[in-house]
Amino acid sequence: MDFFVILASDICWLEMEKIKLYDKTFRLYIPYERISEAIDRVADKINADFRGCTDIPVVLCILNGSVLFTAELMKRLEFNCELVSMKLSSYSGTISTGVVRNLLGPTSDLSGRRVIVVEDIVDTGNTIVALSEYMKETKAADYKVCTMLLKPDVYKKDVNLDYVGMEIPNRFIVGFGLDYDGIGRNYKDIYVLDEE
């Protein structure tokens, strides 16, 4: 699996731009240019796997976090696909509750379909496990998991991640779809919690 790894040492060259969301300050961590390069690599792999397909795979956008990633990814896909959405939640503030709730969808039937599940970030893996079980229940023909970001230090589940944009340390981040209590998703760059 080829993907980009962001290490703590990689952030020293970044401009130290900061944003404030509610009571917390975040500093620039991954600029949009690097995000875009990672999406290019992921799209290349998906295109290679689905090139020439005669069915119409489903791109399952997991709301709300993966909206920006899904939009950027779909612009790069070179095969016919259907966009479907589903909303799950497992976070309260900066903490994972450990309980995954299905809040919406999916917005179309997945039975007998090949599905590309698109997530913004995989950390504890609770959402991915819940999605994997859901894919089996709905009798999807096959599913692949695609995530923009992975925190390998905390992901210890058995569900395979087929497409990973970047690996990052276990830090709380916002931007490019990721939020802190509902805000911060709109930033094109990714910011990390400033703990100094």
Name every residue whose Cβ is closer than 8 Å to that of residue 88 and which is 6 or more positions away in sequence: 62, 63, 100, 101, 102, 103, 127, 130, 131
Name every residue whose Cβ is closer than 8 Å to that of residue 66 and which is 6 or more positions away in sequence: 118, 119, 120, 148, 177
In-domain check, residue 98 = yes
In-domain check, residue 102 = yes
In-domain check, residue 15 = no
Domain that holds residue 165: 33-170
| CA-closest candidate to residue 82, choices 40, 120, 114 | 114
| CA-closest candidate to residue 79, choices 44, 49, 108, 47 | 47
55-108 pLDDT tens trace: 999 999 999 999 999 999 999 999 999 999 999 876 555 565 667 777 787 989
Task: Render each residue's pLDDT in the chain as its tens digit; 196 residues.
Answer: 455 555 544 444 444 499 999 999 999 999 999 999 999 999 999 999 999 999 999 999 999 999 999 999 999 999 999 999 999 876 555 565 667 777 787 989 999 999 999 999 999 999 999 999 999 999 999 999 999 999 999 999 999 999 999 999 999 999 999 999 999 999 999 999 998 7
CA atoms of 70 and 83, how far apart (whole Å): 9
| Contact status, residue 78 vs residue 190, Cβ threshold 8 Å | no
pLDDT of residue 96: 59
* CATH code for position 150: 3.40.50.2020
Task: Tell me how many domains the chain contains.
Answer: 1
pLDDT of residue 103: 73
pLDDT of residue 104: 81
In-domain check, residue 95 = yes
In-domain check, residue 91 = yes
Which residues carry out catalysis?
A: 123
In-domain check, residue 25 = no
pLDDT of residue 179: 95
In-domain check, residue 176 = no
pLDDT of residue 88: 82
| CA-closest candidate to residue 187, choices 124, 120, 97 | 120
pLDDT of residue 92: 55
In-domain check, residue 103 = yes
Strand partners, 63: 87
| CA-closest candidate to residue 115, choices 84, 69, 87 | 84
